Amino acid sequence: MKKYNNINAAQVSQQLNDKIDRELRNYRVKLGKVENVPPQTVRVVPLGGQNGIGEKNMIVVEYEDDALILDCGFDLGVDLPGVNYAIPVLDYLETIKHKIRAYVISHGHMDHIGALTHVVPKYPAPIYGSGFTIGMIDVHFSKVQEQGEVYQPELIVLDMDTHESVSIGVFTVELVRVTHSIPESSAIIIDTPLGRLINTGDFRLDPEPLDAMPSDVKRLAELGRQGVLLLMSESTNTTRVGRTPTEHTLQDSFDDLVGKTKGRLIIAMFSSNMNRIQMIINAANHYGRKVALDGRSMLTVAELAARLGKLKIPKGTLIPLSTVETLPDNEVLVICTGGQGEPGAALSRMAVGEHKAVTLTSSDTVVISSTPIPGNERSYAKIGDLLSAIGVKQYRHPTHEIDGSGPLHVSGHAARDEHAEMIALTNPDYVMPIYGGALNRAYHKDIALQSGVKASHILMVENGAVIEFGTDKKPGIIGRVSSGDRFVDQTGAVVPEIVTRDRLQLTETGFLIIVATIDRHAKLVSSLDIVTRGFIASKTNVQTMNGIRAEIRKILSAKKEVRSKTAIELLKRSIQMSVGSYLLHETGGLPIIIPVVNVIGVTRNHRKPADEVH
Ligand SMILES: [Zn+2]
């Protein structure tokens, strides 16, 4: 049998620790602390959003005894075992909790509202947003209320059509309509005693969106003429030249596809894009197809949109998903989630034959109305493979020209010319690229420079940076506060970093539990129990398992007495060490070793209950 003589346990542990450190580096909490904000000073602190796209967006604005929180999202892109999403580290909010007057939310995407259910119950204050945004927040809170959360948030709608503004502490806040990929998105305008701040939220300047609700460029220009101290502008598509095409150019593509498809039609897209769902419903209605919506998020958002008049569904068009198998193929259109190939989403379940209502066959047509979000490229390709293997006809946006359709997706974010236009419209003294990683923000800086903004007037800041404007209205970065990720699991509970480290180690090495019951003279009173998972199969490694037993017996026979807690701890430590080096030598692997030692006949004065000393 092969032996691993040259491996050293310390080295193996170090390599593993380094690997885990590398996996956690991007989420690591960076500590920092600053003094209270000085009088007559505007402080701006991004606590999330500066480290990538869709990354727990959150920015704090402070003046003396008042603070606002702009957006409060979570990050769904965390790929760690047992982690569902991440929220920003809240240490800084704890220090200013007495002055948090409001949460102002730009739009209803989860990377802008997701953390509200964690943050607002802890630091209560009213939440402001447009009607649809507030509807999305209400739905989000009712989901956690189903799981037992009792907190009822105070939700306040601001009317963008009338340019309604509200005084909150020293601030005056207004929302201005912008186009994005969810109804009623807004830019947030904050008038402070030192000048006006604008947070664009996510936007594009589509002049002809399907809902006839274009970005309110007139209002932005008006605000710009009155003077803007700081423009905080999103950075998602700062690498794209020109302008993002208008959404309604897709209507022709959907009309064409629905018209020419003979069998069933399944269209996968993001659940909150109501304009696109409207286009598909229009096309279905025109060609006499019934529409079924699949996916819980798709149904809840569509219900909300229909209630608020953002989605118009002709009578009799919508059918329950459970009835699609009873209709002729050419009358069925299913709109579902999962176009990114997300495991567990509707399209993935169809692709692997685990969907309750839809069994795909080669006579079906699937349309993927999206491009992969950065990070989803592999699952996006995988879903294409699975569908091809079934033999369905596919139309995917990236290959639409080859597939034989018009474009099937447009982005919800501004491209470079629109960013330049935003700067021209608002004419700010200072520009701060936000909501993007360092690369996209650097491209944004480049647009600002080309737009005539001086380099010294462009603020390039990471999460946790503290920017202050004094009475001279000049900004300075005066330090940093703690920032980083708090992991949250499937149940909504926060997962401590130490637990994530253990899980990462377990996924690498597996574990081995040794239960030894001995008397006070270190004699075994029953046979040794060894349980292992994710390391080696104990049934086919009898020799190794016997070797472990021999190692432990050797240690026990060298002991004369085990009475005190310290003696038990020392015994456990030596079991860990010798079994560890034995296994490394025998198998080349080093699992997590958990020794459990029960000592019979020791009085309670000498030891704590067994479960406390494990
Ligand atoms: Zn968004």
Half-sphere CA count of 33, side-chain side, radius 13 A? 3
CB 558 within 8 A of CB 521: no
Query: Ligand 1 centre and the CA of 516: distance in Å?
Result: 56
Domains of the chain: residue spans and CATH: 15-243+412-495 (3.60.15.10), 247-403 (3.40.50.10710), 510-613 (3.10.20.580)
The DSSP secondary structure of 58-123, one letter per residue, reads EEEEEETTEEEEE----B----STT--EEEE--HHHHHTGGGEEEEE-S-SSHHHHTTHHHHTTTS
Neighbours of ion ligand 1 (CB under 5 A): 109, 202
pLDDT of residue 602: 63
CB 137 within 8 A of CB 114: no
Query: Ligand 1 centre and the CA of 25: distance in Å?
Result: 26
Query: Ligand 1 centre and the CA of 363: distance in Å?
Result: 35
Average pLDDT, the chain: 92
pLDDT of residue 607: 47
Query: Ligand 1 centre and the CA of 541: distance in Å?
Result: 53
Mean pLDDT of 585-605: 84
The DSSP secondary structure of 546-573, one letter per residue, reads HHHHHHHHHHHHT-S---SHHHHHHHHH
Work out the end-to-end distance of the chain between its first and last CA atoms, rounded to an integer number of angstroms.
Answer: 34
pLDDT of residue 333: 97
Tens digit of each residue's pLDDT (9 = 90 or more) over 4-23? 766 777 788 888 889 999 98
pLDDT of residue 296: 81
| Rounded Cα distance, 160 and 129, in Å | 9
| Rounded Cα distance, 324 and 554, in Å | 68
pLDDT of residue 5: 66
pLDDT of residue 480: 97
Query: Ligand 1 centre and the CA of 38: distance in Å?
Result: 34
Tens digit of each residue's pLDDT (9 = 90 or more) over 103-155? 999 999 999 999 999 999 999 999 999 999 999 999 999 998 888 888 999 99
Tens digit of each residue's pLDDT (9 = 90 or more) over 25-60? 888 899 999 999 999 999 999 999 999 888 899 999
* Cross-strand partners of 477: 467
pLDDT of residue 614: 44
Query: Ligand 1 centre and the CA of 393: distance in Å?
Result: 31
Query: Ligand 1 centre and the CA of 57: distance in Å?
Result: 10
| Rounded Cα distance, 435 and 443, in Å | 13
Query: Ligand 1 centre and the CA of 343: distance in Å?
Result: 22
Query: Ligand 1 centre and the CA of 54: distance in Å?
Result: 8
User: With pLDDT > 70 as the criterion, what percentage of the chain qualifies?
Assistant: 97
Burial of 340 (0-12, 13-18, 19+ CB in 10 A): buried
- Reported ipTM: 1.00
3-state secondary structure 498-529: HHHHHHHHHHHHCEEEEEEEEECCCCECCCCE
Q: In what order do the strands lie in the sheet with 365-368?
A: 290-293, 332-336, 265-268, 365-368, 393-396
Q: Evaluate if residue 608 carries a pLDDT over 90.
A: no
pLDDT of residue 533: 93
For residue 98, give the nearest of 125, 116, 135, 73 by alpha carbon: 125
- Of 258-267, 432-441, 553-562, the poorest mean pLDDT is in 553-562
Query: Ligand 1 centre and the CA of 328: distance in Å?
Result: 37
Query: Ligand 1 centre and the CA of 201: distance in Å?
Result: 8
Buried b (16+ CB within 10 A) or exposed e, 169-187: bbbebbbbbbbbbbbbbbb
pLDDT band at 611 (very low <50, low <70, confident <90, very high): very low
CB 176 within 8 A of CB 220: yes
Q: Pull the structure tokens for residue 290.
A: 């019934």
Q: Could you tell me the CA-to-CA distances from 251 to 124, 203, 272, 283, 286 in Å, in that order? A: 43, 21, 17, 8, 12
Burial of 107 (0-12, 13-18, 19+ CB in 10 A): buried
* pLDDT greater at residue 596 or residue 604: 596
Query: Ligand 1 centre and the CA of 109: distance in Å?
Result: 5
Q: Evaluate if residue 441 carries a pLDDT over 90.
A: yes
Half-sphere CA count of 72, side-chain side, radius 13 A? 26
Helix (H, G, I), strand (E, B) or coil at 393: strand
Q: Evaluate if residue 172 carries a pLDDT over 70.
A: yes
Query: Ligand 1 centre and the CA of 153: distance in Å?
Result: 22
3-state DSSP helix/strand/coil percent for the chain, to nearest 5?
35, 25, 40
Tens digit of each residue's pLDDT (9 = 90 or more) over 314-343? 999 999 999 998 999 999 999 999 999 988
Instruction: Specify the DSSP element, H or E, that contains 415.
Output: none
CB 549 within 8 A of CB 514: no
Phi, psi of 398 (to 5 degrees): -60, -25
Query: Ligand 1 centre and the CA of 307: distance in Å?
Result: 21
Tens digit of each residue's pLDDT (9 = 90 or more) over 407-425? 999 999 999 999 999 999 9
Query: Ligand 1 centre and the CA of 209: distance in Å?
Result: 16
pLDDT of residue 229: 98
Tens digit of each residue's pLDDT (9 = 90 or more) over 390-411? 999 999 999 999 999 999 999 9
Query: Ligand 1 centre and the CA of 181: distance in Å?
Result: 7
Instruction: Specify the DSSP element, H or E, that contains 576.
Output: helix 565-587
